[in-house]
Chains A and B, each alone.
Chain A
Amino acid sequence: MEKITKDKIKAGLEVLKDLQDSKLISHLNSCVHCGLCADSCLYYLTTGDERLIPASKVDMVSSIYRRYCTLTGKVFPGLVGARKLDDANISEMVDLLYGACTMCGRCVGHCSIGVDIEYVIRAGREMLAKMGYVPASLQATVDAALESGNNMAIADEDFLDTIEWMEEELQDELNDPAASIPINQPGKNVLYTLNPREPKFFPLSIVAMAKIFYAAKETWTLSANMYDVTNYAYFSGHPKHSRIIAQRMFDEMQKMQAKKLVLAECGHGSRASRWEGPNYIGKEFPETLNSVELIAGYIKSGRIKPDKELTQEIVTLHDPCNLVRSGGIVDEQRYILKNTVKNFVEMTPCGVDNFCCGGGGGQLAMSEYNDRRIKIAEIKAEQIKKTGAGIVATPCHNCVDQLSQINVAYRLNVQIKTMAEIVADALIIGYP
């Protein structure tokens, strides 16, 4: 790790000294150390390590605030538990805020006084980002997006070639040579986005969504220029980077003149565009919705009709934290499953109180904390086992990847699917 310098300290403290962020200041000063957050957190529950209790992570940031922004902290730091920004504390901060938090926000709901712990963690990450301490593997994913336009640095011709290939798959599956995956067509009803892992490694989910659009007779398009729904700078914490990426999505929407921006099944991507995006760029996004809302709407209005008899296996649902707990999209995916599969069983707990898969907060990208990420997933593995499900559905590609890994690590022997894949498998084409 690079040594701390005066300039770095100054850059980091800008976050705490921003007088406009009164929310941050009040939440930094509010924790009463009741400890209720401990039992809400995957890290504490699976390790018993008190360092990893959410309140300890909040204190990591607030102790620095006290040291540099309060009179008692400046004069008698020892009395008020104020800590300075030195190499040891920064290394602890990196470990706690990047390495031991999925930013799932479950602790926020369990906090006795409503401290937005996740917000404080994000502010701590912002400090570290401004000082240049983002873990290398996470920064690499942000850099790939900034430099190439997507977080896996997929070249344009490779992307176009893949979409053409998937269009052929779609035509074969539907037995209709006119079925298409439209690209760069302005003026459509829907501009659809993707997680780059789809074209790079798992393109069948693109076919699944295209099949749903086909059945719903939707007019839609992808953009070859900007299709990446993710914004990893939300995790790394640098506001400049998150703004650049959100602005790109906004600009593409203007350029394509679509009526709606539909975000792919991606928890943090939905959050970063739809809910954080307007704050990043200082402008409201045009009509923006997540694909589960769109699909639920198709079913409700009768535009598509899944056949429940086609999926007899028990299906359970994992709730992506950013979409469900933070975004409030809770019922749509349940409505879809109740109308798409024969046996839908909730895990416990579920909905806004569900546990994180363990891969959130950028953990999936951070090789540095791999062992911890698999360890904390013990809880999700148990939740899944107890349902007796053969299929786990989830509207987030990041969760899909983490669940696929714990499927192997904990020998769950289940199939992991996106919502679009579940629906596409159950579609009756030609209805009504």
Chain B
Amino acid sequence: MPRIEVDGITIEVGGDGFLSDPDIWDEDIARLIAKYDGIEEMNEKHWAIVNIIRDNYEKKGMAPMIRVICKETGLKLREIYQLFPLGPARGACRVAGLPKPDGCV
């Protein structure tokens, strides 16, 4: 099982770096994955995005549309791409502990 290691802590992930078990997710894990991606500190905006994604996943079993993320957080579309340089799927959804979304992402 592949792992990612940050600050001496190891998390088990799938081949694509998404959490193997989305249920073990917590805020510490989110911080670790974010740090692994080069986001040294999660700010309020990062958390707002991650919490919306997590909430949507727990209710509907999938990642929300970028539309929903913008609407709920009040953030501009381009700001989201800047906050998560790997994009909404491989960046934000991964930090939020979701499985990899299907399709060309």
Contacts and interface: CB of A to CB of B under 8 A. Distances in A.
Interface of A: 137, 140-141, 144, 151-154, 158, 161-162, 165, 195-197, 199-204, 230, 266, 364-365, 367-371, 397-398, 401, 404-405, 408
Nearest to B62: A153
A114 B96 CA distance: 48
A21 B76 CA distance: 53
A201 B89 contact: yes
9 closest cross-chain pairs (CB), A and B: A367-B16, A141-B102, A370-B16, A370-B15, A152-B103, A201-B88, A398-B104, A162-B67, A151-B103
Nearest to A367: B16
Interface residues on B, range: 20 to 34
Interface in B12-26: 14-18
A203 B104 contact: no
Interface in B56-105: 62-63, 65-68, 70, 77-78, 85-90, 100-105
B15 A367 contact: yes
A244 to B, nearest CB: 17
Given A161-B67, A370-B16, A203 B105 contact: no
Interface string B25-60: 000000000000000000000000000000000000
Given A203-B77, A367-B18, A405 B86 contact: yes
B22 to A, nearest CB: 14
Determine the main DSSP class of A at the interface with B. Answer: helix
Nearest to A142: B102
Q: Please report whether the interface of chain B is mostly helix, strand, loop or mixed according to DSSP.
A: loop
Nearest to A269: B104
Nearest to B81: A202
B68 to A, nearest CB: 8
Contact of A158 (B14, B67, B100, B102): B67
A155 to B, nearest CB: 9
19 contacts: A141-B102, A152-B102, A153-B102, A158-B68, A161-B65, A161-B67, A165-B67, A165-B70, A195-B103, A195-B104, A197-B89, A197-B104, A200-B65, A201-B87, A202-B87, A204-B77, A230-B104, A368-B15, A369-B15
A365 B90 CA distance: 12
Contacts of A161: 65, 67
A410 B15 CA distance: 19
A332 to B, nearest CB: 22
Contact of A141 (B77, B85, B103): B103
Contacts of A158: 65, 67-68
